[in-house]
């Protein structure tokens, strides 16, 4: 993931050091990617969500509620790591609920960072128009269905929400085209073992709406929670029905670019995230995982002098290098698969 524009000298030098370095607990380069858990709040409670699902009981490494990341904290974070290539303003909720969200996007763009976010697409037209007009490089809109019935089945939410999300996606795509914005609009949907055969309907809708890309996303498991284990819900490369479906479906018939899910395998199990990514929450605490929404408490502050090579990161990297998993969730995360 490299910005479309020219890299700064610092970015280019850091990228070169990364490319020339091997994996080790203490790294000679700085983080390539920054991730910001900008909010812990959400206006939806999707059943598959690690943080806001009404079906998920507390578990050991669960993300804990935090204050919103302030603009001053965001600015300090980006200034602390000017060598990074990209920043994801995502979070453990709906990012646009952060009152400083659009200031953050503008500031990240001014720092020559590839800027990414996601939205559930339920907020009002004014927010959608600002997203379309923003300096984002990639905007993911979580449709999580292709009609009212599938949206209800996939999320557990009222299906009547779906038309609003669809209209907002259409509004963003149309406005982006009118204003010739270079942003990629990506429509996303989470699929599991019970729903993956419906992925074609979702891609067809994204194609109809004129999205730049469509992402068929893997279900993220929560091992300690019944009904959320990988064995029950995830898509495995060892399942012949799953591999046959994704390999034999003619995705090329669609105009939209299709991003297929990463299937879980029994190979290697190594996570690059702790070697490339620095994530912060609203308390300024750090983590190396931008996928499973882990609890960052006790990992150190981004303001600490040696935070990128602190005890937390050295421990995480050392365990992965030894072929071990720091947390139970790492075993079945798509980031450690393949």
Q: Which residues contact 69 (CB under 8 A, 6 or more apart)?
A: 36, 37, 38, 39, 91, 98, 100, 104, 280, 281, 282
Q: Are 31 and 275 in contact (CB under 8 A)?
A: no
Helices 162-178 and 148-155: crossing angle, nearest 10°?
Answer: 110
Distance CA 157, CA 187 (A): 18
Query: What tens digit of pLDDT does each residue of 304-326 get?
Result: 999 999 999 999 999 999 988 87
Beta-bridge partner residues of 185? 139
Q: Which residues contact 334 (CB under 8 A, 6 or more apart)?
A: 218, 220, 261, 262, 263, 264, 291
Averaged pLDDT score across all residues of the chain:
93
- Widest pairwise Cα distance in the chain: 52
Higher-confidence residue: 174 or 325?
Answer: 174
Task: Kindly tell me if the per-residue pLDDT of 188 is higher than 60.
Answer: yes
What is the pLDDT at residue 291? 76
Task: Kindly tell me if the per-residue pLDDT of 337 is higher than 70.
Answer: no
What is the pLDDT at residue 293? 73
Cα torsion 1, 111, 71, 131: sign: negative
Right CATH for 31-336 from 3.90.550.10, 3.30.470.10, 3.40.50.300, 3.20.20.70: 3.20.20.70
Cα torsion 152, 293, 290, 275: sign: negative
Q: Which residues contact 50 (CB under 8 A, 6 or more apart)?
A: 56, 62, 63, 92, 220, 222, 292, 293
Closest CA to 168 of 132, 114, 144: 132
Predicted TM-score (pTM) of the model is 0.94
Least confident window among 48-52, 74-78, 205-209, 301-305: 48-52
Distance CA 58, CA 24 (A): 33
Percentage of the chain surpassing pLDDT 90?
A: 76
What is the pLDDT at residue 334? 79
Least confident window among 45-49, 71-75, 266-270: 266-270
Task: Kindly tell me if the per-residue pLDDT of 4 is higher than 70.
Answer: no
What is the pLDDT at residue 59? 78
Average pLDDT over residues 206-223: 94
Determine the distance from the C-alpha atom of residue 109 to the mean position of all C-alpha atoms in its chain, rounded to a whole number: 19
Task: Kindly tell me if the per-residue pLDDT of 1 is higher than 60.
Answer: no
Domain layout of the chain by residue ranges: 31-336
Query: What tens digit of pLDDT does each residue of 81-123 get?
Result: 999 999 999 878 999 999 999 999 999 999 999 999 999 999 9
Query: What tens digit of pLDDT does each residue of 5-49 get?
Result: 689 999 999 999 999 999 999 999 999 999 999 999 999 999 998
How would residue 258 be classed by pLDDT, with cut points 50, 70 and 90?
A: very high
Distance CA 187, CA 9 (A): 34
What is the pLDDT at residue 62? 79
How would residue 179 be classed by pLDDT, with cut points 50, 70 and 90?
A: confident
What is the pLDDT at residue 2? 53
Higher-confidence residue: 175 or 224?
Answer: 175
């Amino acid at each position: 993931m490299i910005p479309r524009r020219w890299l700064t000298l610092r970015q280019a030098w850091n990228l070169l050091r990364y490319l020339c370095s091997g994996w080790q607990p203490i790294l000679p380069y700085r983080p390539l990617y920054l991730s910001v858990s900008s909010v812990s709040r959400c206006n939806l409670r999707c059943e598959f969500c690690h943080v806001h699902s009404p079906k998920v009981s507390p578990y050991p490494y669960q993300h804990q509620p935090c204050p919103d990341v302030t603009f001053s904290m965001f600015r300090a974070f980006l200034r602390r790591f000017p060598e990074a290539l990209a920043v994801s303003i995502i979070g453990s909720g709906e990012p646009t609920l952060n009152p400083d969200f659009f200031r953050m996007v503008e500031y990240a763009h001014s720092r020559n960072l590839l800027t990414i976010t996601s939205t559930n697409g339920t907020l009002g037209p004014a927010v959608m128009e600002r997203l379309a007009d923003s300096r984002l490089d990639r905007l993911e809109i979580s449709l999580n269905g292709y009609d009212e019935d599938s949206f209800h089945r996939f999320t557990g939410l009222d299906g009547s929400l779906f038309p609003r999300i669809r209209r907002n996606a259409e509004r963003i795509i149309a406005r982006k085209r009118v204003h010739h914005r270079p942003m990629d609009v990506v429509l996303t949907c989470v699929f599991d073992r019970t729903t993956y055969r419906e992925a074609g309907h979702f891609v067809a809708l994204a194609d109809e709406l004129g999205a730049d890309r469509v992402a068929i996303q893997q279900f993220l498991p929560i091992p300690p929670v019944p009904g959320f284990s990988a064995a029950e819900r995830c898509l495995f490369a060892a399942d012949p029905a799953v591999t046959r479906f994704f390999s034999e479906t003619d995705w090329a018939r669609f105009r939209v670019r299709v991003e297929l899910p990463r299937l879980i395998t029994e190979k290697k199990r190594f996570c690059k995230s702790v070697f490339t990514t620095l994530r912060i929450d609203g308390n300024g605490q750090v983590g190396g995982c931008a996928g499973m929404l882990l609890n960052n408490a006790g990992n150190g502050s981004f303001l600490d002098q040696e935070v990128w090579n602190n005890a937390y990161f050295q421990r995480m990297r050392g365990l992965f290098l030894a072929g071990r998993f720091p947390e139970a969730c790492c075993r079945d995360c798509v980031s450690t698969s393949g």
